[in-house]
Amino acid sequence: MVATSTSKAPFGRVLTAMVTPFTADGALDIDGAQRLAVHLVDAGNDGLVLNGTTGESPTTTDAEKDDLVRAVVAAVGDRARVIAGVGTNDTAHSVALARRAESSGAHGLLTVTPYYNKPSQEGLYQHFTAIADSSGLPVMLYDIPARSGVPIETETIVRLAEHPRIIANKDAKGDLAAASWAISRSGLAWYSGEDMLNLPMLSIGACGFVSVVAHLVAADLCALFEAYTGGDVTKAAEIHQRLLPVITGIFRAQGVVTTKTALALRGLPAGPVRLPLVGLGAAQTEQLKQDLAAGGVDL
């Protein structure tokens, strides 16, 4: 048996960072969201993250976020953990979103590093602490400096881990050395937030994935996880390599745009993206089809 922290996966092991389906005219598609959530859980996901980056959180209203959480909890909340993204670059706003997510039935919170205003590490510490203090829900930090502009440094992660409700981190930093130290020192449940690093993250102690490609290949990710934790590293590597075209294809362009295109090609609820995002062109769509086919995804 390979030694990992897989016994500590409080939000599940394979989670999809779910898109927010819209109708053709751009309105929130509640029925579509429920159907997509059921499909994703049936496919093997044991958690769903709503209102995150892939959920187009910057362009959905607070009321839409509430409605989405309530709808998905009603559809699959008895079978999967529903995690609500509440991260903004305004601490008071994030606190309000956290309280609303709790009242809407979410099982946990995802809190991204504040973006654009580039706070200090002390500012990050106080921001995340205020959110964790504001509700009774467990919290997953989300470290993605390529989008936020500021990393959560290891010392800050260790400090935050002392909070009783901050129990996990979604790591999209892309730094395995930093992750190794932070996992070792913080004791947090660690989730890979970068699909290309799902397998390497398991090797240093991650307990699961918060994935975009799990919209399409959740069963494969479950098989990868089970193979690795069951000691069959060769099989896990084979699955990882087979999925490389899918991962590459989904991230050739903005992940929300490609994922919604892929879902639409498969007849699943997705709808358009909201500005400033725009849909794929014909050439990009054809490339995506080729990438998905190369990775074994049926369209």
Using one digit for the tens of pLDDT, what is the confidence trace for 57-80? Answer: 999 999 999 999 999 999 999 999
67: Cβ contacts below 8 Å, ≥ 6 apart: 28, 30
Catalytic residue among 65, 125, 142, 260: 142
Report H helices in 46-165: 62-76, 91-103, 121-133, 145-148, 154-160
Please confirm, yes or no, whether 170 is among the known catalytic residues.
yes
Residue entry with tokens 């935050």: 160
Average pLDDT taken over every residue of the chain: 96
Could you give phi then psi for residue 16, rounded to 5 degrees?
-95, 130
Average pLDDT over residues 106-124: 97
Q: Name the amino acid, one letter, at 172.
A: A
Tokens, residue 230: 């069951």
Report percent pLDDT > 70 for the chain: 98
* 93 band by pLDDT with thresholds 50, 70 and 90: very high
pTM of the model: 0.96
Catalytic residue among 170, 173, 228, 260: 170
pLDDT for res 241: 98
pLDDT for res 5: 39
pLDDT for res 6: 38
* 8 band by pLDDT with thresholds 50, 70 and 90: confident
Average pLDDT over residues 142-170: 97
Residues 108 and 165: beta-carbon distance below 8 Å: no
